A = this chain, B = another copy of it.
C-alpha cells in the first residue's frame, strides 16, 4: 500500500539535524516531504528557512507546533496566543500543509478548565489562520499525557472541537501512537473524513520503555498500522504520512542509518 511518494520525515525523528541537514537528508534518501519543528526554524530565522525549503524542492507537510493554550493566568494565555500568531506566520511562510496544534495541559489548571482554554484559544486563532490560508491540525495525544502534555486525548473530542469551525481551516492529525487503542478509532477516522489534515506513524513498544521517549520504529511494536492507514485512505486523506518517533536510542543513532531504515519500514509496515 505504502509508496515512497507519501513518506514525510517529521524532524523530531532526527533531532540532531538542523533544517539544512534534514532537507539534505530527505533529498539524498528520496523522502519527498518534511514536518518541520519551530525551534529548528528559529535557529536560522524564518526568511532563511523559507528560502532553504523552497530551494530544496522538499514539500512541507506540517509545522510543529502551536497550541499549548491552557495556562493559569490571563497574561500567560495571551502570550501563548501571540506565540500562536507567530506560528501561523511561520506555517504560511514555509508553505506547510498545516500547523499542528498540541493542546498542552498546564500546571495549576484543572483538566476541565484546560479544555475550556483550549477551545477558547482555538477560536481566537482561527480568524488569523483563515486570513493567512493556514490550516490548523488538532492532534489528540494519548490519554497517558492528559495530566502534563495535552487536554485533548481522543479523536472524538478533537472532532467535536473542530466541528465548531470551517472544515477547511480546522481539522485533526491522526497519529497511530496516540489513537490505536481507541475502540472507536475506525468509526472516528471515517467520521473525520476531509477533516484529516495529517497522518503520523510510529509504533507502540512492549513493554513501553518510557511514556514520552518510548515510541518505536514501525514494525518494532504492536500497532496494526496498515488497517489504520487503509481507514485514513478510505476517509479521503491523500497527503504525506509523517514518521514521527520520539526514541532516545534512535536519537543517538546516525541519521544516515535512521533515514533509510525509516523508508524501508514505511514501505513494509504502513
**Chain A interface residues (CB < 8 Å from chain B):** 110-112, 115, 142-144, 146-148, 153-154, 156-157, 180-184, 204, 206-208, 211, 221-222, 224
- Contact indicator B148/A207 (Cβ below 8 Å): yes
Interface centre among A142, A184, A221, A222 (most CB of B within 10 A): A222
The chain B residue with its CB closest to the CB of A186 is B112
- Contact indicator A146/B224 (Cβ below 8 Å): no
- Contact indicator A181/B224 (Cβ below 8 Å): no
The chain B residue with its CB closest to the CB of A204 is B147
Considering the chains assembled together, what is the distance between the CA atoms of A156 and B204 in angstroms?
23
The chain B residue with its CB closest to the CB of A146 is B181
**A-B contact list, 23 entries, CB within 8 Å:** A111-B180, A111-B224, A115-B183, A142-B143, A142-B144, A143-B182, A144-B181, A144-B211, A146-B180, A146-B181, A147-B181, A147-B204, A147-B208, A147-B221, A147-B222, A148-B207, A153-B181, A153-B182, A153-B183, A154-B183, A156-B183, A208-B211, A211-B211
Considering the chains assembled together, what is the distance between the CA atoms of A156 and B183 in angstroms?
9
Considering the chains assembled together, what is the distance between the CA atoms of A224 and B147 in angstroms?
11
Q: Provide the residues of chain B in CB contact with A206, threshold 8 Å.
A: 147-148
Q: Provide the residues of chain B in CB contact with A112, threshold 8 Å.
A: 224
Considering the chains assembled together, what is the distance between the CA atoms of A181 and B148 in angstroms?
11
* Least CB distance, A15 to chain B, in whole angstroms: 21
5 further contact pairs, Cβ within 8 A, besides A111-B224, A142-B143: A110-B224, A142-B144, A147-B208, A154-B183, A156-B183
- Contact indicator A111/B147 (Cβ below 8 Å): no
Considering the chains assembled together, what is the distance between the CA atoms of A204 and B112 in angstroms?
16
The chain B residue with its CB closest to the CB of A144 is B144
Interface centre among A112, A148, A181, A182 (most CB of B within 10 A): A181
Considering the chains assembled together, what is the distance between the CA atoms of A110 and B112 in angstroms?
34
* Least CB distance, A161 to chain B, in whole angstroms: 10
* Least CB distance, A133 to chain B, in whole angstroms: 30
Q: Provide the residues of chain B in CB contact with A157, threshold 8 Å.
A: 183
* Least CB distance, A148 to chain B, in whole angstroms: 5
Considering the chains assembled together, what is the distance between the CA atoms of A50 and B143 in angstroms?
39
Partner of A111 from B115, B144, B181 at Cβ < 8 Å: B181
* Least CB distance, A145 to chain B, in whole angstroms: 9
